[in-house]
Structure 1
Amino acid sequence: MFIINLTYKAPLKKIDQFLEAHIQFLNKQYTDGFFLTSGRKEPRNGGIILCKAKNKDNVEQIIKLDPFKINNLADYEVIEFTPTKTNEKLKFLIEH
């Protein structure tokens, strides 16, 4: 499991120009089964994505498809973790 922490490095006006393309990117990753949840940080200086992928290299390949990455609008921090405890609704996140 991975947390992708995006931090914008461009003004929000520039981010908003690519927001629809970014949303399309997100939608594809949800359809492909990689992304589990995502959203804006508050204050709006980036976003967080919870990603289920085989390994960090796989996550890096996915990130390369993001219009925010392609257009050098955000920095990305990838944090790998192993869920070991969750509530009943999220039990599917725990590796067996």
Structure 2
Amino acid sequence: MFVVQLRFAENKALAGQFMEGHKAWIQQGFDDGIFLLVGSLSPNLGGAVLAHGIDRDALSARVDQDPFVAEGVVTADIVEITPNRTDDRLGFLLS
């Protein structure tokens, strides 16, 4: 399981220009069953993605395809988590 932090960078002002492509990238992640959650980092720091069912190299390649990353709107930091214990509702993360 991975947490991807997408923190605003030097080209933050270009976010509007690349928003549709970023939204399409997010939708593709959900369609492919990789993204479990996407949300904003408060206050206005960027966004985060919870990803599962992919290896680090493939996720890194996917993140590089985000127009926000490619255009320097955000910088990406990928944190890998190996779940050892979960609430029953998240048990699927242990497999």
Task: Give yes or no for TM over 0.5.
Answer: yes
* SS, match of residue 76 in structure 2: strand
Answer yes or no: is the 8 Å Cα contact 1:2–1:53 preserved in 2: no
Tell me what 2:27 maps to: 27
Structure 1: give runs of 5+ residues left out of the alignment.
none
The letter for the 2-side match of 1:4 is V
Taking only aligned residues, the RMSD between alpha carbons, in angstroms, comes to 1.5
Tell me what 2:36 maps to: 36
Q: How does 1:82-93 map to 2 (within 5 A)?
A: 82-93=82-93
The letter for the 1-side match of 2:85 is K
The letter for the 1-side match of 2:64 is K
Query: Residue 90 and residue 81 in structure 1: after superposition, are their counterparts in 2 closer, same or farther (change >3 A)?
Result: same
CA shift for structure 1 position 12: 4.8
Answer yes or no: is the 8 Å Cα contact 2:34–2:54 preserved in 1: no
Find runs of 4+ consecutive structure 1 residues off by over 4 angstroms.
none
The alignment's TM-score, normalised by the length of structure 1, stands at 0.88
The letter for the 1-side match of 2:76 is Y
The alignment's TM-score, normalised by the length of structure 2, stands at 0.89
1:81 aligns with 2:60: no
* SS, match of residue 28 in structure 2: helix
Answer yes or no: is the 8 Å Cα contact 2:4–2:48 preserved in 1: yes
